[in-house]
């Protein structure tokens, strides 16, 4: 079905005037808009690259006493430990923190098709708790505070 424009009774289309005026102003503009956008883009990219990532401090316990690690360290270590474990791969890892104490984990995983999800969940939860205990010592939260969600199923390991 083709759309037809309805002519106005007086023959003037107010929308047409706006388009014509905008086109005229763009043609008459003496600034090079494209080069300005390129300059702005380069500055934004440079600032983003120069920005450091700030993590949330998490209290840990070591043989020498208390220390703090960031949630970035915890998530990175967990991602490395969980990659490919039990036919799964971590998609997202959220670390719960309250008053600088780790309160638990929420891990979203993808799994290979036909993976035994119960067995995979058991392996992932055990490995995740082991990593938390290794990093946080006695201040690691209980294993029961690690929740898993399977958010994707892939046909093979390369997806």
* 2 vs 153 pLDDT, higher one: 153
82, with CB counted inside 10 A (0-12, 13-18, 19+), is buried
Query: Which pLDDT tens digit goes with each residue over 11-40?
Result: 555 556 777 777 777 667 655 666 666 677
Range 105-130 average pLDDT: 96
pTM of the predicted model, to two decimals? 0.66
Taking 50 as the threshold, does the pLDDT of residue 120 lie above it?
Answer: yes
Q: How far apart are CA 89 and CA 82, in angstroms?
A: 6
Query: Which pLDDT tens digit goes with each residue over 42-78?
Result: 777 777 777 777 889 999 988 888 899 999 999 999 9
Query: Which pLDDT tens digit goes with each residue over 86-115?
Result: 999 999 999 999 999 999 999 999 999 999
Residue whose structure tokens are 């949630």: 71
Helix (H) or strand (E) holding 93: strand 88-98
Instruction: Name 92's bridge partners.
Output: 108
Q: Which fold has domain 57-154?
A: Alpha-Beta Plaits (3.30.70)
Structure tokens at 10: 């007086």
């Amino acid at each position: 079905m083709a759309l037809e424009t309805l002519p106005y009774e007086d023959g003037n289309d107010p929308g047409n005037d706006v388009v014509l005026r905008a086109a005229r102003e763009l043609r008459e503009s003496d600034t090079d808009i494209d080069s300005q956008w390129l300059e702005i883009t380069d500055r934004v990219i440079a600032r983003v690259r120069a920005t450091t990532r700030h993590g949330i401090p998490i209290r840990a316990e070591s043989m020498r006493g208390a220390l703090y690690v960031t949630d970035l360290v915890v998530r990175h270590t967990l991602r490395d430990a969980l990659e490919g474990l039990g036919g799964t791969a971590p998609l997202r890892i959220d670390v719960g923190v309250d008053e600088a104490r780790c309160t638990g984990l929420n891990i979203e995983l993808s799994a290979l098709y036909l993976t035994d999800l119960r067995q995979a969940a058991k392996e992932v939860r055990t490995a995740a708790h082991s990593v938390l205990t290794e990093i946080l010592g006695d201040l690691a939260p209980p294993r029961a505070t690690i929740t898993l969600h399977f958010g994707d199923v892939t046909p093979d390991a390369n997806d």
